[in-house]
Structure 1
Amino acid sequence: MGRAEARRARQRGGASRAARGGSATRRTGIRRLFTWKKIVGTLFGLILLCMGAFVVLYLVIDIPEGNPDATRQSNVYKYSNGDTMARIGQVNREIVDLSEVPKPVQETFVAAENKTFYKDQGIDLKGTARGVINTVTGKGKQGGSTITQQYVKNYYLTQDQTVTRKLKELVISLKVDRKKSKDDILAGYINTSFYGRSSWGIQAASQAYYGIDAKKLTVEQGAYLAALLQAPNQYDWGIATDTGKRLAKARWNYVLDNMVDMHWLSASERQGMKFPTPKAPKAAAGLTGQEGYLYTAAKAEVMKELNLTEAQFDAGGYTVTLNIDRKKQKQLEKAVKQQLTDNLHPKSSKADSRVQAGAASVDPKTGKVLALYGGPGLSEHYVNNATRTDYQPASTFKPLILAAALENSATTQNGQSIRANTIYDGTNRRPVLANGQKVGFAPPNEDDHSYGPVTVQTAMNKSINSVFAQMGVDVGMDQVMATAKKLGMDAADLKPYPAQTLGTMGASPMEMAGVYATLDNHGKQVTPQIVKSVAKQGQDIPLPKSIGNQVISRAAADSVTSVLTGVVDDGTAKASVRDNPARAGQKVAGKTGTSDGNKSAWFTGYTPDLVTSVGLFGEGALKTSEAGAHVSMKGAGGLPRVDGGSFPARIWAQYTFNSTDPTAQFDLNTDMGAAVEVPSTPQDTPTDQPTTPASDTPTTPESTPPTTPSTPSSTPESTPPTDSPSGGVTPPTDTSSPTFGIPQNPNGSSSKKPHGGG
């Protein structure tokens, strides 16, 4: 075979092999289907499809309304010194502005969760892709999200780990990052995250783990709270296993090391840091003892002053700081316990089971409510006895009648100025006169005792009803009620009829403390405030001022104070207050009160720097037929009658003499003298003439008053009075003697039936 033939043969063999090779390619044609060009083209198409789908999602998905649960907060109540008293609400969260969190603490969260936070667009595509793949393949619910994505999950979405939720999170995060500042996003993140110990948000977590507000956190403490977010329960130092503690500390170190890498912390500072061991877990602050009453009083005041509905307030977010002084609060609680509850045996004595106590203590210069006693506990007695207004203040109203007389320059029936030394007829059941005519009201004195002619000072000391009933009419009951309103009593129950001189309207210890505080403050109105400040998300909300205008003249207010020192020095509070062994020289003014039927008993008094009103109320015990009803306290504590000079004055004295400056002095602007001495007056001469038995209600006028007047049973020896046309008494010519103004007693009667008074 020649060379040419050999070449042709080779060519034919190559063609044959090619043919055979071609049949092999046809058998594996998939290679021709997946060429590199086709693969690249397909991937590019898929990318375009995904991009198109994402664009559609971006256009379709809007930023939704925030999840209400993510912003639900508790209301936080604090004592005046900043200690937390209680957190009330379904969610233990208190949202704070980012400015309330130190900048280095803010940076710990960025270092822990998202170092690119300040530079990224709100998403981490690699982390999100990893999370989606792990979720689809069942490898666990993993995130890898940015701070923005976690904030979106907390605030706008749910904690469910699904592909749909992940995609929504991605889209919304991009939009949120464009719409909100990084500071807003970081604030939202640290306020909506869960930190363990039932704490949502950094403020609640700061309190739960370190007992401080977020604004006081150190870098070390902030790094621990930031570390907690990865595994709150596992890393909680108080309940963590040894492994959990090891992991928590490693995470803490990781956060601080990242801060060094980010140049937010120097290496030397980092080296000197020690792990800040958190406090042991404890129950969330709640309502125990008197705290329930403090809470209800503060809540009512905030709702009133800010014009909020209960639903609006209970939505949460308010930080309410009270004026309560914890030391004085404990002193008041101790005084009630030692002077009252330790002497009552409600399980074995029906009378003892009926007694409820309430008290409020006010700084007369600022109006701050420094202490409050509301009852045995909110769970046992829901009504706050310190703020309830359904019991009569009784004779504690008498100083207001005198204040009205002095403020209005009132005169007696025969034209004499009403002053501390003005003489009135203290005869029991003497009908009240107006312009010489009976007004149909003749109140009994306590125990139906007749005193005859007495000075206003003595009438206040002895709490003589007949004198102040006549004085009220002399002043004009409309003027008396107007003065009462100015001094701070509730206008709703102040009707201008003579029986109101006995204190038959309703009042609370808080209200009466405010009235007497206005007297102590020289006539400048004092409105008791239990709330010191209110804030929402770190922003203070203005509150009305507690000190108002001059509502009565200083001379009138100081003169009443001067007269009220006599009640302590020579009156119904002498034994419990003046002679109290705990008294260290404190100057005291005050007034007792005991209502008809012994359903309430009071002592409201003050020193130059503290005003306190204590009330005891007869209330039917729970689970009895009398439950909630106003009942008599007679027999309680072994006393025949619970009057204002007994338990109320004793409670007041123990509390006040352990809470006030013994050197403080009343600065009185009055020509009646500071601490008026009781003027020399005729001896009390009760009459023993029988009369028709009195009814139990002193406000009921006598059914058949005598029509023939008679002279009083006793008169001053120096200047015996003569009849005057007005039914009063002609004044003496000696101006150094007491001023007379005694409307004549038409009957001079007396009875032995007991009635309210002192």
Structure 2
Amino acid sequence: MSTDEQADGENGDVHAERSAGKRFADYPRRAKSGWRRWIPSWKLATVLCLGFVGGVLGVATVAYALVEVPDPTRMAQAQSNVYYWADGKQMASTGGEVNRQIIAADQIPGAMQNAVISAQNKSFRTDSGVDAMGVGRALVDMVGGTESQGGSTITQQYVRATRFSGEPRSLGGKFRELVVSAKVGGNMAKPTILAGYLNTAYYGRDAYGIQAASHAYYDKDARQLNVGECAFLATLLQDATHFDPAGAVTTDPAATPAANTARAEQRWAWILDEMVKDGHLAAPERATFTHFPIPRPIAKAAKPGGQVGYLVDLATAYFLKNNGKGITSDNLAHGGYEIHTTFDRRDVAMLESAVKQARKAHINPAQRPDTDTHVQFGGASVNPATGAIVAVYGGEDAAQHIGNHADETGVPVGSAFTPFVLAAALRDGVRDPEGEPEQGPSERTIVDPDKSLYSGLNKLKIKNYDGSPWKSEKGEEWLQANDGGASYRDITLRDAMARSVNSPFVQLGMDIGIPTVRQAAEDAGLLKSSLNTSSVPSFSIGTSSPSVIRMATAYATFAADGQHWEPFSVEQVSHNGRTEYRHEDKPARAFSKDVAATVTDVLRSVVDEPDGTGNNARLPGREAAGKIGTTDGNKSAWFVGYTPQLSTAIDMYRLDESQTAKSRRFLGMYGTGGAGKARGGSLPSEIWRIYMTHALSGQAR
């Protein structure tokens, strides 16, 4: 075939392809070959872009036309949060009355309006109500799985408070918020928007709106606020939980009064400086505000009393920490949540009854004012098979007392810590005295609680694992005393546990290594933050201060054959019919079944042996394992024990709750309850026995 003929043939093929029929879109492109066929033409790309933009604009236009402008008096009404017992019966309903009073814009100080504008949205008076760049950043953050609080003008925040309050952040929600904000910005006057925002925003302390906040923090009408007070209230709109100087430790342990005050003072000063920069405050007037306007203490609010108040606080804190959707205390404050807890109402009532019974029988401040005043008890009960917290005793009355005694109180656990030392000795073993300080499993020796002998002498000179005397940084040796000055020669670890002899476990801890003992306690379930960071010998006999909830949980690990379940207090949470949280967890293997079984067997000796220090906790017809805890100075007394069905911890201490945080100190309990010395084997074990006897009635032995 000639060249001309070949060219004619190719041209004919192209012509035939082009004549085969026109397509709506020439893609893949017919006239191109290879990779060029897959590159859209500029015409096609332009059409696609215009179509996409048009589609988005069309959806936005329809949405814009359909949405309503928010009405703060009608749409920003808080609902109750309802808490349920484990059996589904209602336990408490909170937040039913909305602490809000809508006031006119001219009653809101100009300083308050300007402080918020300077702090949150400098362009508020001239912008369209939507910060497109900020929204973009927020959407990117959410797609990336991080929580973003940015990308919101005052208009958007007003819309969120009135139309989307209580809803967790989502891409769809952000789009709806954007559309409504655009309409509000185009249809409402700026002063109306700003007043609406300040009248509906949450300021903490159950205060919605500037008028309620003014009374909650300064006990005055909003129109009477000065510039400094306005600047502080503006800080609360950033995050009331972390800027209220009174603190909010029930919702976030990091929100202490000291930390919150420091944050509030810093942001308060910054807002005043920004007001000067923006022309809202004269520099000479700014210079007069040298002292942070400390708000008044929190007035006692109507909250559930008795034990229910403690339960509500625990469940609330747990949900806020673990919901995984960014639901905050501000969301929860708007209400509408149904919170199903793990608390067994029968067990809660029984635990409270057991404490009251023991208190009535033994504690008499009128007769013994020097020893029986300020006596406090804490208690918690956990299901070893799941980690569910079934009961707590948080104090005499949540409406009358500050703090929850079932949570962290700073009370040292004493010798109730020694089972973790034993568990470490059984799992990890003691070090070879001829080896290096850091040793692996092959160099260590597993102990036998019935054959390994340790000196039980009173004031035993404690040694390092290699036999050299342990000395402090000052060169002082450690002489470990036993409770009551009791002294024993060589003694098995079982007998030492049963009789609560301290010196063998202090030396055992040194032979194992304090870091290894600490790790065993963490694996069992104690929080690292509650464990003493010191490596002094006394670490092994309980210088740490875990909560009773965590102690019950850690002992439950032994009851569950070495499987550790994290404690939890909430099974499920729903909001407006949508499930927002469902508890899911898997156990972690902390100890082998053999190690857990051996620890349990040794702890049964504490309860069963005639001279066991815990025999006051014997349960009729049922085996139980447990350990008492006493501390130096007789500052606390514990009993922690368990059966396969239930693990319970009880502590007792003296603390004057009226003391300020800086002056708080635990008082000695010599003579408390009419006894020479308060011990874990007395009142705590008595409360434990009374409660467990009733709580386990009807259950398999």
**C-alpha contact 2:654 2:668 (8 A) present in aligned 1:** yes
Match of 2:34 in 1: none
Q: CA RMSD in A?
A: 3.2
Q: Rate the CA distance shift 1:511–1:662 in 2: closer, same or farther, 3 A.
A: same
Deviations for 1:211-242, whole angstroms, at most 9, x for unmatched residues?
xxxxxxxxxxxxxxxxxxxxxxxxxxxxxxxx
Aligned mates of 1:544, 1:624 — CA distance in 2: 37
Match of 2:512 in 1: 475
Deviations for 1:247-296, whole angstroms, at most 9, x for unmatched residues?
xxxxxxxxxxxxxxxxxxxxxxxxxxxxxxxxxxxxx9961211111111
Unaligned runs of 5+ in 1: 1-58, 94-154, 157-171, 176-283, 666-758
Match of 1:82 in 2: 88
Aligned mates of 2:71, 2:516 — CA distance in 1: 57
Alignment of 1:334-413 (within 5 A): 334-348=353-367, 349-410=369-430
Matched AA of 2:560? N
Match of 2:538 in 1: 499
Match of 1:438 in 2: 469
Deviations for 1:63-86, whole angstroms, at most 9, x for unmatched residues?
213647545222211111222221
Deviations for 1:169-218, whole angstroms, at most 9, x for unmatched residues?
xxx9xx9xxxxxxxxxxxxxxxxxxxxxxxxxxxxxxxxxxxxxxxxxxx
1:631 counterpart (633, 651, 667): 667
Aligned mates of 2:624, 2:631 — CA distance in 1: 23
Match of 2:605 in 1: 566
Q: Rate the CA distance shift 1:453–1:322 in 2: closer, same or farther, 3 A.
A: same
Aligned mates of 1:451, 1:575 — CA distance in 2: 20
Match of 1:299 in 2: 316
Q: Rate the CA distance shift 1:649–1:287 in 2: closer, same or farther, 3 A.
A: same
**C-alpha contact 1:489 1:511 (8 A) present in aligned 2:** yes
**C-alpha contact 1:367 1:547 (8 A) present in aligned 2:** no
Match of 1:609 in 2: 645
> What is the CA distance between 1:642 and its match in structure 2?
1.0
Match of 1:577 in 2: 617
Matched AA of 2:428? N
1:328 counterpart SS class: helix
- More relative contact order in 1 or in 2 (CA 8 Å, sep 6+)? 1
Match of 1:652 in 2: 688
Aligned mates of 1:316, 1:383 — CA distance in 2: 23
> What is the CA distance between 1:399 and its match in structure 2?
0.1
2:461 counterpart SS class: coil
Aligned mates of 2:332, 2:612 — CA distance in 1: 45
2:491 counterpart SS class: strand
> What is the CA distance between 1:438 and its match in structure 2?
1.2
Q: Rate the CA distance shift 1:418–1:500 in 2: closer, same or farther, 3 A.
A: same
- Structure 1 window deviating more from structure 2 (418-427 vs 621-630): it is 621-630
Aligned mates of 2:421, 2:392 — CA distance in 1: 27
Matched AA of 1:408? D
Q: Rate the CA distance shift 1:73–1:403 in 2: closer, same or farther, 3 A.
A: same
1:420 counterpart (433, 440, 449): 449
> What is the CA distance between 1:474 and its match in structure 2?
1.1
- Kindly, what percent of the aligned residue pairs are identical? 33
Matched AA of 1:633? M
Aligned mates of 1:459, 1:611 — CA distance in 2: 22
**C-alpha contact 1:618 1:633 (8 A) present in aligned 2:** yes
Aligned mates of 2:432, 2:654 — CA distance in 1: 37
**C-alpha contact 2:78 2:333 (8 A) present in aligned 1:** no
Q: Rate the CA distance shift 1:661–1:496 in 2: closer, same or farther, 3 A.
A: farther
Aligned mates of 2:458, 2:412 — CA distance in 1: 21
Aligned mates of 1:563, 1:60 — CA distance in 2: 74
Match of 1:552 in 2: 591
Q: Rate the CA distance shift 1:541–1:548 in 2: closer, same or farther, 3 A.
A: farther
Alignment of 1:589-604 (within 5 A): 589-604=625-640
Match of 1:318 in 2: 337
Query: TM-score, structure 2 length as denominator?
Result: 0.56
Alignment of 1:659-670 (within 5 A): 659-660=695-696, 664=700
1:73 counterpart SS class: coil
1:576 counterpart SS class: helix
> What is the CA distance between 1:623 and its match in structure 2?
7.0
> What is the CA distance between 1:546 and its match in structure 2?
4.8
Aligned mates of 1:60, 1:317 — CA distance in 2: 28
Q: Rate the CA distance shift 1:639–1:413 in 2: closer, same or farther, 3 A.
A: farther
Q: Rate the CA distance shift 1:532–1:521 in 2: closer, same or farther, 3 A.
A: same
Matched AA of 1:80? A
Match of 1:64 in 2: 69
Match of 2:280 in 1: none
Match of 1:519 in 2: 558
Matched AA of 1:502? I
1:452 counterpart SS class: strand
Query: TM-score, structure 1 length as denominator?
Result: 0.52
Alignment of 1:264-275 (within 5 A): none
**C-alpha contact 2:454 2:490 (8 A) present in aligned 1:** yes
Aligned mates of 2:699, 2:67 — CA distance in 1: 70
1:424 counterpart SS class: strand
Matched AA of 1:639? A
1:642 counterpart (649, 664, 678): 678
Aligned mates of 1:584, 1:476 — CA distance in 2: 39
Matched AA of 1:339? A
Match of 1:138 in 2: none
Aligned mates of 1:327, 1:538 — CA distance in 2: 28
Q: Rate the CA distance shift 1:563–1:411 in 2: closer, same or farther, 3 A.
A: farther
Q: Rate the CA distance shift 1:315–1:572 in 2: closer, same or farther, 3 A.
A: farther
**C-alpha contact 1:593 1:643 (8 A) present in aligned 2:** yes
Total equivalences in the alignment: 421
> What is the CA distance between 1:407 and its match in structure 2?
0.9
Aligned mates of 1:433, 1:388 — CA distance in 2: 32
> What is the CA distance between 1:61 and its match in structure 2?
10
> What is the CA distance between 1:419 and its match in structure 2?
1.4
Aligned mates of 1:426, 1:479 — CA distance in 2: 22
> What is the CA distance between 1:592 and its match in structure 2?
0.2
Q: Rate the CA distance shift 1:390–1:537 in 2: closer, same or farther, 3 A.
A: same
Match of 2:623 in 1: 587
Aligned mates of 1:625, 1:303 — CA distance in 2: 25
Aligned mates of 2:534, 2:595 — CA distance in 1: 21
> What is the CA distance between 1:566 and its match in structure 2?
0.4
Deviations for 1:3-31, whole angstroms, at most 9, x for unmatched residues?
xxxxxxxxxxxxxxxxxxxxxxxxxxxxx
Deviations for 1:509-532, whole angstroms, at most 9, x for unmatched residues?
101000001110011112221222
Larger Rg: 1
